[in-house]
């Protein structure tokens, strides 16, 4: 839509303006402590790589209480679950990396699918204005280009910001984003040439080639599924599920009830397809009994199933968290490369 | 906004113990709030989450037909945590039902066709519902010949026997009941379901099959059906997988890109043939 | 300290001989990882693949983890601590001694990536190692760090760096530092109860309950872990601090007398919890009560499977 | 805290302490009623998770009691149990659980008087600790206040 600049000296004022009547969330802390948290306009960081945990935690917390009931027979509705509702408040997120913003859109299509709308997700997702921060210096593990993303990607964002000489450059992407920036003292400017130039530079700094995994979406599903490399790809795996906990698009959860003598609560907790319990039937039958099926499930889901359901968009956004976090170095880039071509022989 | 996680409050109206081993019970539920029955609009083949406060939820196929007003039926096999707890509950207890979930059998698409319904063991529930629904005067005329083949390990394990005995007397449905093994007092068909299907199955012309049962039953019956000339497109199975949300979100029931809860549980064999066998 | 090239060469040679002679079907060792500051487990089945095997200061994981339930004869590349774990598994009947061959690597300690990050927070692209110095290279910088300054906590107090029970050694024996004297824990234990509880609760407050610590641990081979039991379900699955606390306490308890301080749990932990603190509490107890350390002989019995008639337990009235 | 009546979960071995409790009862020996007994076949059956579960569900104290070493009905059950207790006792004390909350004793089925004395001692000890607030699940988190 339109482009603006904010001078370095006006940054605090700018963040004050965008967070008027809203909570401001932005990455705080260093290294593994870097996370998306409520913060104040004067503490905004521009020099982080990315948050340790993905921002999905702000929309889909590790534990979320959905319903509750009481057991007091003297009151109405005893033993009947009541909606705890979604307590989302208007907020503005500053500093989402484009890969993570795209990840949220992938999860959003699952939480608001063709038949059902998850009210807990929807409330939080739609009450958040999202200002992205483009990546000028991708980390060594980044590969957004390979999965159809860009260091200046715009999906899922209301405004895309980038650090430029003497301040911030802004590009508004939605009506809401435009209205938000208009309400500040940001000065309009023409930045498209600069953005294009910087985007190309940032692409160049990534090791990944553009769209190099696209061929996976074109291959036959069962052929990819039956490739002989899977047992060897999975051999290292500890089934710890760290990859799924850190993934910006992994959205699987478990629903659990807990109760005391006074009442109870139904909540959902992050779950992981790496756990054998995830698919275990009460009868004892398990459709994915060993780690080979479970590891395959994760990669197939990211790179084959989600593209089928979401018009070719990968369920992996190239943020590289799983690459770094995996204790046994199962690198999704290597696996994706294997999934790109038929493998005749199984190799390590 | 309508919250798909929130169950309708229901009261257990009646519990029937179905088998000698007391592992199968049929629960009859009534909605607590007037108006909820209207909202709970379903067709046979769909399922619902039985929600026991403080214990959890289990996805169970709906055994009653929407043509039976005023109540819902579910047959529950005692296996895990929630089903065991449910078996200890009493008529009058309050709990919840969340649904309806999933897709029903493709009744609309199959109008004008002959239908063969094959059930093995307690998988009969949603098929019984389909039978009741099809025999309703409002629907019966839309379909050709209807055959119902139902077998179980023993006569005492045949559920809803009263319904089937009544149907045997009707001339707009052919009912074949069988016991997998000989039993005292059983004068009906005897034999493993696939063998019985081989003997009594009507011709495949202009016909579709609903098939439910244990995996081994499905496997062998499917072979028999294919030999008899049925096409993969015309054989409909109802799958089950571990489920939590039932809304196509929580991610555990998927078979390839399809969610059993949201996109199923009814799939044709043709639809399943291009998918991993993760069910 | 033997040069890592020498050790790597020796490991490859041994692996080749073992595979060619049919002594083992698989060699489990480390390969170069796709990310810097890392080494990945690798399963070698043919002699021509042996050149993938490497050794460096990032071989932190404990490969004994892959033994329980594995079929066929296996050679394992092990540090001192890993060899102890493998020995422990043999004594717990998780693996047959005759199916196991230990290629021991006299260890000089493994590197803690957190300590590296503290010294060089910029993104690192490439790493070189020689003579006890690691050179960290980024897009526009190069920093050198002495390995001994960035060793893992458990490596600084490891008294068994040379795997003495290994079937062969891939290098000359290394000297080990003094054993863990638990002085920090002892100091903590002299503090009031509330402070101790606050310390441990703070320790695990970031826990995601991903159980990576459990899955990376060679001791955690139970077919169904207590956290996964459903009938009854012992632990809630939410982020409830009491459930999380009980998980760590029980995991510590289950590892009592079996932990070899390999640090795999802490390496695997994605939020860098000092998981081993609970194990150390237990090891301190086991050592003081029964003077026992795990994995130091093929014959010894784990302390909780045996007893002395006169075991001391004054606190029981 | 004088009016604080603690709840204590007691794990008793079927062959001895459970009998001692019986004997104390029929002998009309007074003891505090603050504990709920779980009868075990042997203290060797006691999995540490039982104890942690009791605390988690709000028990103010746990008391484990079995046969004197050497008198085990199953020959060595309590010898094995004793080693576990040593570790568990030290573990919980180390992480800040007051040792008065977790008590162990050996009481034979003839020792009704010891049972009485021990019961008093256990309950007094737990009373002195006050209610268990640190090692239990927080009910407020259930969100009940919003529905009732």
- CA quadruple B194, B198, B199, B204: dihedral positive or negative? positive
Q: What number of other Cβ atoms are within 10 A of residue B154's Cβ?
A: 15
A72 to chain C, any CB pair closer than 8 A? The answer is no
Compute chain C's Rg from CA coordinates: 20
Give per-residue pLDDT as tens, B194-247.
Answer: 888 888 888 888 999 999 988 888 889 988 999 888 999 999 999 988 999 999
Say yes or no to pLDDT of A345 above 90. no
Report whether B80 contacts B147 (CB < 8 A): no
E-state strands within chain C = 26-32, 39-44, 74-78, 100-104, 126-130, 133-137, 142-146, 168-169
Give per-residue pLDDT as tens, C218-240.
Answer: 999 998 999 988 888 899 888 88
pLDDT exceeding 70 applies to what percent of chain B?
A: 100
Across the interface, of A267, A276, A329, the residue whose CB is closest to C34 is A329
Of A115, A282, A253, residue with least CA distance to B103: A115
End-to-end CA distance of chain D: 29
Q: Which residue has the higher pLDDT, A187 or D119?
A: D119
Say yes or no to pLDDT of B33 above 50. yes
- Neighbour-count burial for C105-144, b at 16+ CB within 10 Å, e otherwise: bbbbbbbbbeebbeebeebbeebebeeeebebeeeeeeee
**pLDDT of res. A210:** 85
Of A224, A232, A189, A191, residue with least CA distance to A301: A224
Of A191, A172, A187, residue with least CA distance to A131: A172
Across the interface, of B1, B274, B279, the residue whose CB is closest to A119 is B1
Options 3.40.50.2300, 3.40.50.80, 3.40.50.1000, 3.30.1370.60; CATH of B114-238: 3.40.50.80
Of A103, A46, A125, residue with least CA distance to A246: A103
CA B277, CA C275: separation in Å to the nearest integer?
Answer: 39
CA C279, CA C302: separation in Å to the nearest integer?
Answer: 15
Give per-residue pLDDT as tens, C94-103.
Answer: 999 999 999 9
CA B189, CA B175: separation in Å to the nearest integer?
Answer: 11
Chains B and C touch (3+ CB pairs under 8 A): yes
Report whether B266 contacts B102 (CB < 8 A): yes
CA B251, CA D132: separation in Å to the nearest integer?
Answer: 39
- Neighbour-count burial for A117-149, b at 16+ CB within 10 Å, e otherwise: ebbbbbbbbebbbbbbbbbebbbbbbbbbbbbb
Say yes or no to pLDDT of B26 above 70. yes
The alpha-helical segments, DSSP class H, found in chain B are 36-39, 81-87, 125-135, 137-140, 161-168, 193-200, 215-227, 269-273
Binary contact (A323, C236; C-beta < 8 A)? no
Give the list of residues 6+ apart from residue D77 with CB closer than 8 angstroms, or none: D42, D43, D44, D45, D66
* Tokens of residue C286, six digits: 């086991």
Report whether B247 contacts B262 (CB < 8 A): yes
Q: Hunting for tokens 């478990």 — which residue is that?
A: A254
Across the interface, of A267, A270, A334, the residue whose CB is closest to C34 is A334
Strand order in the sheet with C126-130: C126-130, C133-137, C142-146
Write out residues 1-30 of D within 8 Å (CB-CB) of C.
Answer: none
* Tokens of residue C103, six digits: 């290629």
Chain D contacts of C193, Cβ < 8 Å? Answer: 93, 96-98
Is D91 exposed, middle or buried (CB count within 10 Å of its CB: 0-12, 13-18, 19+)?
buried
Run of H or E including B171: none
Residues of D with CB under 8 A from a CB of A: 137, 139, 141-144, 146-148
CA A258, CA D137: separation in Å to the nearest integer?
Answer: 11
Give per-residue pLDDT as tens, A267-324.
Answer: 999 999 999 899 998 888 899 999 999 999 999 999 999 999 999 899 999 999 999 9
Across the interface, of B83, B94, B254, the residue whose CB is closest to A80 is B94
pLDDT mean across residues, chain A? 89
Q: Hunting for tokens 């039953």 — which residue is that?
A: B217
Is A261 exposed, middle or buried (CB count within 10 Å of its CB: 0-12, 13-18, 19+)?
exposed
Write out residues 46-105 of B within 8 Å (CB-CB) of C.
Answer: 80-81
**pLDDT of res. C218:** 94
CATH topology for D8-146?
Rossmann fold (3.40.50)
Binary contact (C35, A329; C-beta < 8 A)? yes
- Tell me the helix, strand and coil percentages in chain A, rounded to 5: 35, 20, 45
pLDDT exceeding 70 applies to what percent of chain A?
A: 99
Say yes or no to pLDDT of D140 above 60. no
**pLDDT of res. B213:** 87
CA A250, CA C15: separation in Å to the nearest integer?
Answer: 39
Chain C contacts of D74, Cβ < 8 Å? Answer: none
Give per-residue pLDDT as tens, A15-63.
Answer: 999 888 899 999 988 777 788 889 888 888 888 888 888 999 999 999 9
Give per-residue pLDDT as tens, D23-46.
Answer: 999 999 999 999 999 999 999 999
Query: How many interface pairs between A and B have CB atoms less than 8 angstroms apart?
Result: 139
Say yes or no to pLDDT of B166 above 80. yes
Domain ranges (residues) in chain B:
8-100, 114-238
B219 to chain A, any CB pair closer than 8 A? The answer is no
**pLDDT of res. A348:** 47
The model's confidence at residue D2, banded by pLDDT at 50, 70 and 90, is low
**pLDDT of res. C1:** 47
Give the list of residues 6+ apart from residue D33 with CB closer than 8 angstroms, or none: none
Strands A128-133 and A91-96: parallel
pTM of the model: 0.92
Is C236 exposed, middle or buried (CB count within 10 Å of its CB: 0-12, 13-18, 19+)?
buried
Binary contact (A241, C210; C-beta < 8 A)? yes
Binary contact (A81, B56; C-beta < 8 A)? no
The neighbours of chain C, by the rule of 3 or more Cβ pairs under 8 Å, are: A, B, D
C179-C180-C183 Cα angle (round to 5): 135
**pLDDT of res. B98:** 94
Kindly state the average pLDDT of the residues A334-339. Answer: 91
- CA quadruple D92, D94, D99, D103: dihedral positive or negative? positive
CATH topology for B8-100?
Elongation Factor Tu (Ef-tu); domain 3 (2.40.30)
B227 strand-pairing partners: none
Find the closest chain B residue to C230 by CA distance. Answer: B81
What distance in Å separates residue C71's CA from the closest CA in chain B?
Answer: 25
Give per-residue pLDDT as tens, C156-167.
Answer: 999 999 999 999
N residues, chain A: 348
Query: How many interface pairs between C and D have CB atoms less than 8 angstroms apart?
Result: 106
Report whether A2 contacts A190 (CB < 8 A): no
pLDDT mean across residues, chain B? 90
Report whether B272 contacts B256 (CB < 8 A): no
Binary contact (C123, A32; C-beta < 8 A)? no
N residues, chain B: 279
Say yes or no to pLDDT of C88 above 70. yes
* Tokens of residue B79, six digits: 């296996």
Write out residues 106-165 of C within 8 Å (CB-CB) of A.
Answer: 114, 117, 121, 123-125, 139
What distance in Å separates residue D112's CA from the closest CA in chain C?
Answer: 14
D69 to chain C, any CB pair closer than 8 A? The answer is yes
D87 to chain C, any CB pair closer than 8 A? The answer is yes
Kindly state the average pLDDT of the residues A147-151. Answer: 90
Give per-residue pLDDT as tens, C53-74.
Answer: 999 999 999 999 999 989 999 9
**pLDDT of res. C121:** 86
Question: Cis omega (within 30 of 0) on the bond before C232?
Answer: yes
| Mutation for testing the A interface, residue in C25, C27, C34, C112 having most A CBs under 10 Å | C34
Give per-residue pLDDT as tens, C89-145.
Answer: 999 999 999 999 999 999 999 999 999 988 888 888 899 988 889 999 988 899 999
pLDDT mean across residues, chain C? 92
C243 to chain A, any CB pair closer than 8 A? The answer is no
The phi and psi torsions of A280 (rounded to 5 degrees) equal: -65, 125
Say yes or no to pLDDT of A187 above 60. yes
Domain ranges (residues) in chain C:
4-112+151-305, 113-150
């Amino acid at each position: 839509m339109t482009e603006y600049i904010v001078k370095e000296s006006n940054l605090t004022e700018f963040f004050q303006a965008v967070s008027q009547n809203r909570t401001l969330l932005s990455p705080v802390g260093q290294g593994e402590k870097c996370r998306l948290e409520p913060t104040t306009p004067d503490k905004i960081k521009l020099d982080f790589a990315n948050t340790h945990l993905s921002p999905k935690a702000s929309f889909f917390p590790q534990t979320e209480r959905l319903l509750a009931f009481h057991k007091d027979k003297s009151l109405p509705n005893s033993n009947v679950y009541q909606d705890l509702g979604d307590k989302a408040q208007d907020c503005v997120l500053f500093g989402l990396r484009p890969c993570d913003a795209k990840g949220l859109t992938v999860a959003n299509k699952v939480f608001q699918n063709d038949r059902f709308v998850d009210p807990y997700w929807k409330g939080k997702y739609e009450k958040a204005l999202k200002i992205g921060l483009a990546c000028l210096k991708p980390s060594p593990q980044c590969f957004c280009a390979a999965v159809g993303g860009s260091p200046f990607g715009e999906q899922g964002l209301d405004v895309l910001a980038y650090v430029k000489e003497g301040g911030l450059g802004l590009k508004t992407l939605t009506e809401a984003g435009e209205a938000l920036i208009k309400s500040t003292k940001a000065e309009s400017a023409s930045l498209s040439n600069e953005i294009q130039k910087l985007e190309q530079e940032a692409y160049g700094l990534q090791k990944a080639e553009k769209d190099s995994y696209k061929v996976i979406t074109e291959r036959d599903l069962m052929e990819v599924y039956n490739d002989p490399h899977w047992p060897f790809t999975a051999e290292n795996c500890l089934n710890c599920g760290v990859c799924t906990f850190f993934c910006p698009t992994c959205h699987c959860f478990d629903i659990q009830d807990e109760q005391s003598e006074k009442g109870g609560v139904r909540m959902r907790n992050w779950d992981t397809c790496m756990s054998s319990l995830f698919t275990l039937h009460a009868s004892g039958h398990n459709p994915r009994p060993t780690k080979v099926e479970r590891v395959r499930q994760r990669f197939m889901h990211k790179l084959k199933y989600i593209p089928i359901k979401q018009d070719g968009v990968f369920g992996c956004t190239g943020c590289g968290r799983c690459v770094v976090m995996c204790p046994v170095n199962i690198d999704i880039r290597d696996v994706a490369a294997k999934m790109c071509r038929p493998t005749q022989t199984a190799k390590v | 906004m309508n919250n798909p996680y929130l169950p309708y409050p229901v009261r257990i109206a009646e519990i029937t113990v179905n088998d000698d081993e007391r592992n199968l019970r049929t629960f009859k539920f009534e909605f607590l709030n007037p108006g909820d029955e209207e909202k709970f609009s379903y067709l046979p083949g769909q399922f619902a989450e039985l929600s026991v406060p403080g214990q959890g939820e289990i996805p169970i196929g709906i055994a009653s037909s929407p043509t039976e007003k005023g109540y819902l039926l579910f047959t529950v096999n005692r296996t895990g945590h929630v089903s065991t707890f449910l078996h200890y509950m009493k008529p009058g207890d309050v709990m919840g039902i969340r649904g309806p979930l999933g897709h029903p059998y493709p009744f609309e698409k199959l109008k004008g066709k002959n239908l063969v319904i094959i059930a093995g063991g307690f998988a009969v529930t949603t098929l019984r519902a389909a039978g009741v629904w099809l025999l309703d005067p409002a629907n019966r005329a839309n379909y050709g010949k209807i055959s119902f083949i139902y077998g179980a390990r023993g006569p005492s394990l045949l559920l809803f026997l009263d319904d089937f005995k009544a149907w045997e007397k009707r001339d707009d449905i052919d009912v074949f009941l069988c016991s997998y093994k000989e039993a005292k007092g059983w004068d009906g068909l005897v034999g493993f379901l696939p063998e019985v299907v081989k003997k009594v199955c009507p011709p495949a012309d202009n016909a579709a099959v609903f098939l439910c049962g244990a995996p081994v039953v499905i496997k062998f019956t499917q072979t028999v059906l294919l030999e008899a000339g049925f096409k993969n497109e015309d054989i409909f199975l109802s799958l089950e997988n571990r489920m939590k949300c039932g809304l196509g979100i929580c991610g555990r029931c998927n078979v390839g890109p399809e969610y059993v809860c949201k996109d199923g549980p009814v799939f044709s064999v043709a639809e399943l043939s291009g998918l991993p066998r993760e069910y | 300290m033997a040069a890592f090239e020498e050790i790597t060469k020796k490991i490859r040679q041994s692996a080749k001989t073992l595979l060619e002679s049919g002594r083992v079907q698989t060699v489990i060792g480390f390969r170069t990882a796709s990310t810097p500051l890392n080494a990945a487990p690798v399963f070698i089945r043919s002699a021509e693949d042996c050149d993938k095997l490497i050794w460096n200061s990032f071989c932190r994981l404990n490969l004994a983890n892959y033994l329980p339930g594995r079929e066929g004869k296996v050679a394992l590349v092990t540090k001192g601590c890993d060899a102890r774990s493998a020995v422990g598994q043999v004594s717990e009947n998780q693996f047959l001694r005759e199916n196991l061959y230990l290629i021991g690597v006299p260890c000089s300690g493994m590197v803690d990536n957190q300590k590296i990050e503290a010294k060089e927070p910029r993104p690192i692209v490439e790493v070189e190692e020689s003579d006890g110095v690691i050179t960290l290279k980024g897009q526009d910088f190069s920093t050198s760090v002495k390995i001994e300054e960035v060793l893992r906590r458990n490596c600084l107090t490891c008294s068994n760096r040379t795997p003495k029970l290994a079937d062969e050694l891939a290098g000359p024996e290394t000297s080990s530092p003094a054993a863990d004297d638990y002085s920090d824990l002892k100091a903590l234990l002299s503090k009031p109860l509330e402070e101790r509880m606050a310390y441990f609760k703070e320790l695990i407050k970031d826990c995601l309950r991903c159980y990576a610590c459990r899955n990376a641990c060679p001791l955690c081979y139970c077919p169904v872990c207590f956290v996964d039991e459903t009938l009854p379900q012992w632990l809630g699955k939410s982020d409830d601090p009491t459930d999380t606390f009980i998980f760590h306490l029980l995991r510590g308890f289950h590892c009592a007398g079996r932990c070899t301080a390999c640090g795999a749990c802490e390496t695997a932990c994605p939020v860098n919890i000092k998981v081993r603190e609970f194990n150390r509490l237990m090891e301190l107890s086991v050592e003081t009560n029964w003077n026992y350390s795990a994995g130091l002989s093929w014959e010894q019995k784990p302390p909780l499977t045996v007893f002395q008639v006169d075991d001391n337990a004054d606190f029981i009235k | 805290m004088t009016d604080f009546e603690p709840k204590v979960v007691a794990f008793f071995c079927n062959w001895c302490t459970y009998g001692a409790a019986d004997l104390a009862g029929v002998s009309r020996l007074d003891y505090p009623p603050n504990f709920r007994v779980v009868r075990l076949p042997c203290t060797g059956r006691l999995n540490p998770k039982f104890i942690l579960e009791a605390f988690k569900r709000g028990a103010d104290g746990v008391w484990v009691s079995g046969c004197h070493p050497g008198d085990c009905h199953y020959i060595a059950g309590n010898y094995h149990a004793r080693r576990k207790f040593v570790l568990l006792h030290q573990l919980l004390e180390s992480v800040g659980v007051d040792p008065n909350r977790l008590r162990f004793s050996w009481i034979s089925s003839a020792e009704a008087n010891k049972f009485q004395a021990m019961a008093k001692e256990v309950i007094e000890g737990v009373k002195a600790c006050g209610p268990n607030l640190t090692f239990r699940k927080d009910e407020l988190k259930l969100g009940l206040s919003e529905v009732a």
